[in-house]
Amino acid sequence: MKKGLFILLLTVSVLVVMVSIYGFQSNDDAKNDDVNQSETEETDEQDEPNTFEPHEGLNQEPVPVEMERVSEDEVNIKMTSQITDIEIDKGVNYKAWTFNGEAPGPLVVVNEGDTINFTLENLDPAVPHSMDFHAVKAAPDKKFANVMPNEEGTFTYTADSPGVFMYHCGTDSVLRHIANGMHGVIIVMPEDGYPTDDQVDREFALIQNEWYPYDDLDAMMNEEPTQVVFSAKALNEDDINTNGTTKALKDEPLQAKVGETIRMYINNVGPNEISSFHVVGTVLDDVYIDGNPENHMKGLQTVTLPASGGAVVEFTVEEAGTYKVVTHQFDHVEKGAAALLEVTE
Ligand SMILES: [Cu+2]
pLDDT digits over 130-167, tens only? 999 999 999 999 999 999 999 999 999 999 999 999 99
Q: Looking at 30-131, which runs of residues are DSSP E strands?
A: 66-71, 74-89, 92-99, 108-111, 114-122
- Give the distance (Å) from ligand 1 centre to CA of residue 6: 43
Pair (230, 128) in one structural domain: no
Share of the chain above pLDDT 90, in %: 85
Pair (172, 230) in one structural domain: no
Pair (238, 298) in one structural domain: yes
Pair (151, 61) in one structural domain: yes
Residue 18 lies in a domain: no
- Give the distance (Å) from ligand 1 centre to CA of residue 199: 40
Give residue 278's pLDDT: 98
Pair (227, 303) in one structural domain: yes
Pair (186, 239) in one structural domain: no
**Cβ–Cβ under 8 Å, residues 243 and 104:** yes
What pTM did the predictor assign? 0.86
Give residue 51's pLDDT: 79
Query: Which of 23-37, 299-313, 319-333 has the lowest average pLDDT?
Result: 23-37
Residue 246 lies in a domain: yes
Give residue 14's pLDDT: 44
- CA-nearest of 104, 246, 100 to 165 is 104
Residue 20 lies in a domain: no
pLDDT in tens, 99-134: 999 999 999 999 999 999 999 999 999 999 999 999
Q: How many domains does the chain have?
A: 2
Which of 192, 226, 258 lies at the terminal end of a domain, its last residue?
192
Q: How confident is the model at residue 47 (pLDDT cuts 50, 70, 90)?
A: low
Pair (185, 225) in one structural domain: no
- Give the distance (Å) from ligand 1 centre to CA of residue 195: 37
Pair (167, 73) in one structural domain: yes
Q: How confident is the model at residue 320 (pLDDT cuts 50, 70, 90)?
A: very high
Q: What is the mean pLDDT of residues 331-336?
A: 97
Give residue 202's pLDDT: 97
Residue 200 lies in a domain: no
- Give the distance (Å) from ligand 1 centre to CA of residue 182: 6
- Give the distance (Å) from ligand 1 centre to CA of residue 128: 6
Mean pLDDT over the full length of the chain: 90
Residue 169 lies in a domain: yes
* CATH code (residue 306): 2.60.40.420
Full domain range(s) for residue 186:
53-192
- Give the distance (Å) from ligand 1 centre to CA of residue 183: 9
Pair (264, 134) in one structural domain: no
Residue 328 lies in a domain: yes
Pair (230, 133) in one structural domain: no
Pair (57, 188) in one structural domain: yes
Pair (155, 234) in one structural domain: no
Q: What is the mean pLDDT of residues 65-78?
A: 98
Residue 8 lies in a domain: no
Return the DSSP state at 329: -
Query: Is the bond preceding residue 49 a cis peptide, omega within 30 degrees?
Result: no
**Cβ–Cβ under 8 Å, residues 345 and 320:** yes
Residue 34 lies in a domain: no
